[in-house]
Structure 1
Amino acid sequence: MISVIVPTCRPTSVLTRCLVSLAQQQLPSSELEVCVVFNGGVAARLEGGPWPFRLRVTQIGGASAAAARNRGLAITKGELVVFLNDDVVLEPGCLAAHAEAHARLERPGLVLGSATWPLYADSTVLDRLIAETSLVMFYDQMRPYEWYGFRHAWTLNLSVKRDYAERERFDERLSPVNFEDLEWAFRLERRCGLNVWYAPECAAVHDHRYTWEALLARERLVGRMAAKLWQANAECFRAVYETDLDERYLDFCRRAVEAERRRAPRLLELLGRYAQLRATELDNAPGGRGAFMSLLHGAIQPMKRMEFRRGLLEECAAGAPRAAAPTMATTTAGLARSR
């Protein structure tokens, strides 16, 4: 049996699209159970039923993707566990492909499915940047049927054998969201030897549209959660950022934010205007579409890093405890590569 666990805190219209795609899976209904965990809101009535699979609906207090997944693990029984975001729409063969991928693996692992972005009728430049570059996800840097490290364990479309999922639960200190999946996969990698196998035939569409403002807010939240990651698992933080969260790094972040602050308002306004243009206007971009996309992507990166550092500094200033004296020396290269 396959157990699908879907945390949700968005309008039920989003979740319903995901459930409809689950109802269309090429699996016997007896082989599928779906657990929806409402977190950060009141459990709502789900439209569109009855569903052809066993549906469990539960609720937890507070917004926590980690706690939602742990609750789902506790009340489901399938030998294979598939974690989904509520805003993904699966292709009909997605879950069967997850099961087949695990059966073919030469060794146990996590299976990551593909998650393409929709092509909206009114797509903006930002929509296409997100879909075609590493602005949000790193799918464009991955090759099918290869092994990757824990940093690719994205629970928007990820499966694992229950035995391993129950050995390592998600750390609920990493709430509301971000890094709870990577930190969990880091422990699975270190303690169980599990890596991430990319199987694009486990296909889904990730219907999560960002505005320019939402993209920047996401980066600031990632920064805040990075401070929590250091508190929860300093070794994982080091593995991601190649540095320690010590006073030297914080001073580096303060100076970097101050340096960007002088030019940020005008640049943010300009980039925001470009991001909101219709994607069709790229067809006439000087130097061609690809060159313009590359140029814009490069210009956005410093602004993303600034928002990340602002979030991290805010969380540390708010009193996020820092781990005991680290043993790994901070390196200049690590500082330069960190976000």
Structure 2
Amino acid sequence: MTDVEVLEVAAIRERAEGVRELTLARPDGGRLPDWTPGSHIDLVLPNGLTRQYSLCGDRWDSRTYRVAVLREPDGRGGSAYVHDVVGVGDRLGVGWPRNNFPLVPATEYLFIAGGIGITPVLPMIHQAELLGIEWHLLYGGRRRASMAFLDELATYGDRVHAVPQDERGLLDLAAWLGEAKSAARVYCCGPAPLLDAVEAACAHWPAHALHTERFVAAERTPARDEAFEVELRRSGKTIRVTPEISVLEAIRNAGVDVLSSCEHGTCGTCETVGLDGLPDHRDSLLAEHDRETADCMYVCVSRSRTDRLALDL
């Protein structure tokens, strides 16, 4: 995890059914680290859980961070704690912003969001507006009452296409993605079925056109089932990773500390530099076109294509 500082909950607001917004600030009102659209922070809760939430406020407001938390009835307890326990004036640990979903330059953007996936898209829209770049948002949800930030988005007029499923059905991806545009970029965040559908609809687009962020790791078939060795070059240790444990577990069993959080390949906390060997990238962070050339790996889920890996640990 990045450096952690205790921030105060300055305000709480209900933004939709099951969506609670927290505004966080330093107790002394001091300046917070800068961030860029697509960034998230770690929220370290008093019950011992750490969760990642996208920053969805104004990046030019240097005094506050804003996150929105969807209550997950079947979750592991983080969202329930935020909804049921956290109050104004409480203090929470915050890991500083990281960006695994950066907004790259383009002449046009199509933003596609499903449910709480709207959160990282909001500052991207603001950035596109500031730069005068053409953009449209396709935003789906189960019903209008559950779709957060519709009031803010209404100010953008007909560039926002809100599609509550109970009123209008599913998003018409074919209509929006049927024509590939070489200079445009597509940004999508939301539940796995939406991301899978968008990836399929963008199959004929240029390789670098689609950018996605997943809340739940994608299913990936391992490249191999055999055990392999990992050299921890800075520590001078070589460890054996058997099929039933992760690289992260094996590293920790050897007494080497690696920071981690989600342990599902979605947050990026455990990113480690690879020195030799071919990682089997099983995370949901690297773009498909980067998987063959990436010089890093996320050791919580990724494994090895070769008999031996060397890591900068």
Q: Give the TM-score normalised by structure 2.
A: 0.32
Q: Which has the higher helix share?
A: 1
More strand by share: 2
Question: What's the TM-score, normalizing by structure 1?
Answer: 0.30
Q: Whose relative contact order is higher, 1 or 2, with alpha carbons under 8 Å and at least 6 apart?
A: 1
